[in-house]
Amino acid sequence: MERITRRELLKKGTMVGAGVAVGSSIGRKASAAEKGEKTPLPKIVERSRDSNLERMEKELQRALQKPLNERHWVYVIDVKKCVGCAACIAACQTENRTPPGVVYRPVIHEELGKYPNVTRRHIPRLCNHCDNPPCTPVCPVDATYKRADGIVVMDYNRCIGCRYCLSACPYNSRLFDFGEFYAKGKGFFPIMPYENVHTYEYKVNWKRHKGKSPVGNVRKCHFCLHRIERGLLPACLVTCLGGVNYFGDSNDSKSLVSKLISQPNVIRLREEVGTDPQVYYLL
Amino acid sequence: MKSRIINWFLLLTGLGGVIGIGAIVYRLVEGMKVTWLTSNFPWGMWISYYIYFIGLSAGSFLFSTLIYVFGRKELEKAGRLALFSAFFALVAGLIFIWMDLGHPWRFFYVITHWNYTSVLAWEILFYIGYIVVVLVELWYLMRADLALMRDESSAGKRAFYGALALGWKTPATQEARDASRQRALRVVAILGAIGIPLAICVHGGTGAIFGVVKARPYWYSAIFPIIFITSALVSGAGLMTFLYALVGDKKGSEYLNIIRSLASWLILFLGIDFLLIGADFLVNWYGYVPDHMAVWEQIMFGPYWYVFWLVQMGLAMVVPFLIYLFKKNSATWLGIGGLSAVIGIVAVRFNFVIPAFAVSPVPLLDKAFHDARFAFSYFPSLTEWVSSLGLISLVTFIFVLIYRLLPIVNVPKEYSV
């Protein structure tokens, strides 16, 4: 049976009621993918060693042939493979040129057991891209929303920076750009050239300036939207040395991620709040 | 009251206001980095003051309806004062939330891109409707006095009062004056009756902004929007007690009675507030669900334990009770009790917003990444302190100025409603 979510029900109810919802989706520019335009995809490199990466790339390109609303991206993390090297954090920060303190991908380090029987566990975190996100309905200006392919995105030019969504996220996966720079303000350093590099989030060229978006905005992980729509896997995934991460389309029953999330050893974080997260952890 | 003291007070608050404006401008130029907020501690002092002032406003307004809707004639002299504080407190609250925005100049997006699923977006509509009701009520109450003051004063003030009177003309005969006064009171009663659900939406809804957040177990409770309303009434009654003790007609025979009556309302609301907060604590304590109790532990024994024990429990609870019990015959003491409650409620707001963020919602996330902007602890920065206190002095300064100029408590004899 098809499950009707609360939000869908709300939406349907409103349509019937009267055109109250006018203006919430009108006026926002649809991205190229949302309009159904296709971008040329890169050639896949034949790899002998890591066949998973190659397979996920093929599946990603296969998924991109489908219309946007028939894809559903999920992310799977195999916790026991993670060594806690933090390469994914660095990759994410370089890819998205995030300022100090804005970290889309923290890694939780946990010590278990009692000496001498101790071990460590590392739990990488990123936005869960919940199927029932509590952060999007609270936005007073509708600047954050869930796309048809499951990615929860920000509209930087609309966000007023009230940070209600930060409060409403049960995972603290959202971050605020306070407008700081790594070097500036520490001694006599100016803004370093590497901090002035464009970031390509949401396939738009952003340059951080005082008072200009994305400074003063809420920022979050977007599964490297600008990469996946060009046929590339998320930065955190490709940089991982242990092959901890998996990414793909769960609507494709033959995909690697579909296989993984149907296993019995899968958990998701804080499921009890009913968010239906789309980041799965393999134990 | 001695005008020398008022002048000193005006000088002091005016100076504070200027410094406050400076701090706000600094914040607008430099952006949110002047605060010590973090991504995991997104709301702090400004949001606490925002809900405090919205509460003070709703409380004062609900208080005025006791007079104009429910006909408690003995409190009539405090009526306009209550509406004026409602207006100024709301303006202060709105400035606080405005300067908390990452993009303050996009504030009008909440109207142009209004999102119907957001409690905050609904609240903005309620604030606007509510401010209109308050202003229209005030005009109806004061139009006759304003017209009289316009006709009796010299050129400069004449234009000022004339502008406020909006062209209202004093009827020629006494009978017509009485009739127009009755009509005005009828309109105010109807507006007040509309204003009651509106004020409940304004502050209960402000509580609901937090109450609907299922991510924070401490907030996610139906009792908090109710506590918001009762503590709004506490601060409203406290403010009225204090202000009336300060500016009321001390020689009048009713003076002490009015203040006592105001103080009794204060004590009643305090009792209800205590009951509700106590209920929330006891239920959480009995269950001891770690997520819930972690926040209560923060409040009672965390780094800011004194805010709870000394300010929230002391100033806003014990002090007004003790004064009411032992100093019931002194208007001055009752006024101090009211002031104590008004200040103490600030701690209720701080203790509502801030501790909820101190506990990591995902275990050990607080140790995942080390950066000042990723911390799970918060203390307001100097800019936050100066801009907050400065803004409060500025609003007080304008309030006192307006109080001196307009017929709020000292109404011209002929027209006093």
Identify any residues that bridge with A122 across adjacent strands, giving them in sequence order. Answer: A109
Query: Of how many residues is chain B composed?
Result: 417
pLDDT tens profile A22-62:
444 445 665 655 666 667 788 877 766 657 898 999 999 99
Which pLDDT score, from 0 to 100, does residue A51 have?
A: 78
- Are A218 and A172 in contact by the 8 Å Cβ rule? The answer is no
Nearest-Å Rg of the Cα atoms of chain A is 20
Which pLDDT score, from 0 to 100, does residue B3 have?
A: 78
pLDDT tens profile A188-223:
778 888 888 888 999 999 988 888 889 999 999 999
Amino acid residing at B70: F
Enter the tokens of residue A276.
């239906």
- Are B25 and B394 in contact by the 8 Å Cβ rule? The answer is no
Beta strands in A19-64 (DSSP E): none
What average pLDDT score do residues A167-178 get? 95
* Chain position carrying tokens 């340059």: A207
Among the listed residues B170, B109, B108, B166, the one whose alpha carbon sits nearest the alpha carbon of residue B135: B166
Which pLDDT score, from 0 to 100, does residue A29 have?
A: 60
Residues of chain B found within 8 Å of residue A162, distances taken between Cβ atoms: 97, 100-102, 120
What average pLDDT score do residues A228-255 get? 94
Which pLDDT score, from 0 to 100, does residue B37 have?
A: 96
- From CA A68, how far away is CA A148, in angstroms rounded? 6
Which pLDDT score, from 0 to 100, does residue A21 have?
A: 40
Would you say residue A12 has pLDDT above 70?
no
Among the listed residues A127, A162, A158, the one whose alpha carbon sits nearest the alpha carbon of residue A144: A158
Rounded to whole angstroms, what are the CA distances from A276 to A77, A267, A268?
16, 11, 8
Which pLDDT score, from 0 to 100, does residue A76 have?
A: 97
Residues of chain A found within 8 Å of residue B214, distances taken between Cβ atoms: 134, 168, 170, 273-274
End-to-end CA distance of chain B: 23
- Are A75 and A83 in contact by the 8 Å Cβ rule? The answer is no
- From CA B417, how far away is CA B410, in angstroms rounded? 11
Which pLDDT score, from 0 to 100, does residue A17 have?
A: 46
Which pLDDT score, from 0 to 100, does residue B158 have?
A: 80
Identify any residues that bridge with A78 across adjacent strands, giving them in sequence order. Answer: A282
Are A210 and B30 within 8 A, CB to CB? yes
- From CA B276, how far away is CA B270, in angstroms rounded? 10
**A21 vs B109, B116, B372: nearest CB:** B116
pLDDT tens profile A57-115:
999 999 999 999 999 999 999 999 999 999 999 999 999 999 998 999 999 999 999 99
Which pLDDT score, from 0 to 100, does residue A13 have?
A: 52
Which pLDDT score, from 0 to 100, does residue A8 have?
A: 55
Residues of chain A found within 8 Å of residue B212, distances taken between Cβ atoms: 138
Size of interface A-B (CB pairs under 8 A): 177
Q: Where are the alpha helices (DSSP H) in B288-330?
A: 290-301, 305-306, 319-326
Which residues, including other chains, have CB under 8 Å from residue B368's CB and lie 6 or more apart? Answer: A106, A107, A108, A109, A125
**Which value does ipTM take for this structure?**
0.91
Among B35, B98, B116, B378, pick the best mutation site for testing chain A contact (most A Cβ within 10 A): B116
- From CA B263, how far away is CA B337, in angstroms rounded? 8
- Determine contact: B101 vs chain A, CB below 8 A: yes
pLDDT tens profile A132-143:
999 999 999 999
Digit-by-digit pLDDT tens for chain B (417 residues) are: 567 888 899 999 999 999 999 999 999 999 999 999 999 999 999 999 999 999 999 999 998 898 899 988 777 878 888 999 999 999 999 999 999 999 999 999 999 999 999 999 999 999 999 999 999 999 998 888 888 888 877 777 788 888 887 878 777 788 888 888 888 889 999 999 999 999 999 999 999 999 999 999 999 999 999 999 999 999 999 999 998 888 877 777 788 888 998 899 999 999 999 999 999 999 999 999 888 899 999 999 999 999 999 999 999 999 999 999 998 888 899 999 999 999 999 999 999 999 999 999 998 898 889 899 999 999 999 999 999 999 999 999 999 988 888 887 766 555 544
**B362 vs A158, A171, A177: nearest CB:** A171
- Are B101 and A160 in contact by the 8 Å Cβ rule? The answer is yes
* Chain centroid offset of residue B302 CA: 27
